């Protein structure tokens, strides 16, 4: 992982929240302070900055991940390629690239901003709450994922039809459809009309 001023004092999140600080933001995404990661997710949740990444292969298929069973939040559910939180002072773009490498062992190509979305999603299984101002990113993946087993249980590349089938039978993260729908215009621009997104 590249060392920057924002990452120099932080280690990779391995599914625990000990000592990791998040940026708290207002409704416009302006930083207003920091909070410890787990406390920010306790009900009713505190609005904080997050990132969500959607990577696609050369065939326009989306790379999904199944979150590791050992994660304290939403373990074992399927979700988009990568999610996470910037460290205080870390640019969302840098956090997206960092977390993709930490979780999946790949560096995205053509990573581009895809807007932001604000949501409030309680997770019934854990009792935690996702109050997030989420920065979305899309890009390409040109190498085989090498997941960190503490972060990711499994990966899969899916077409839109395969995603619909999987979404109907498997459990997905509470935020998945919200972030995918918000990123769709950028996804379509990246993958082209033939991919069907």
> Known catalytic residues?
83, 132
Write the DSSP string, 119-170.
EEEE-TTT--EEEEEEEEEEEE--S-----TTTEEEEEEE-HHHHHHHHHHS
> Which is nearest to 155 in space by CA: 84, 92, 63?
63
Cα–Cα dist 42/143, whole Å: 37
Tokens of 138: 């899309």
| Residue 86 DSSP one-character state | P
Q: Is 87 helix (H, G, I), strand (E, B) or coil?
A: coil
Phi/psi region, residue 192 (left: phi>0; alpha: psi -120 to 50; beta: rest), is: left
Q: With contact defined as beta carbons under 8 Å apart, do 5 and 89 qualify? A: yes
Q: With contact defined as beta carbons under 8 Å apart, do 34 and 128 qualify? A: no
């Amino acid at each position: 992982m590249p060392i920057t001023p924002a990452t120099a004092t932080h280690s990779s999140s391995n599914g625990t929240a000990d000592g990791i600080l998040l940026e708290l933001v207002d409704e416009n995404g302006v930083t207003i302070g920091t909070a410890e990661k787990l406390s920010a997710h306790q009900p009713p949740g505190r609005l904080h900055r997050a990132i969500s990444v959607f990577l696609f292969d050369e065939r326009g298929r989306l790379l999904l991940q199944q979150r590791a069973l050992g994660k304290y939040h939403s373990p074992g559910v399927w979700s988009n390629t990568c999610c996470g939180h910037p460290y205080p002072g870390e640019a969302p773009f840098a956090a997206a690239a960092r977390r993709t490498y930490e979780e999946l062992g790949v560096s995205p190509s053509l990573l581009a901003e895809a807007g932001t979305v604000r949501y409030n999603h309680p997770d019934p299984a854990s009792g935690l709450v996702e109050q997030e101002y989420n920065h979305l990113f899309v890009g390409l993946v040109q190498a085989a994922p090498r997941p960190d087993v503490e972060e990711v249980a499994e990966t899969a590349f899916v077409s839109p039809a395969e995603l619909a089938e999987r979404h109907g039978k498997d459990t997905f993260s509470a935020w998945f459809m919200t972030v995918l729908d918000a990123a769709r215009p950028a996804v379509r621009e990246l993958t082209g009309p033939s991919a069907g997104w």
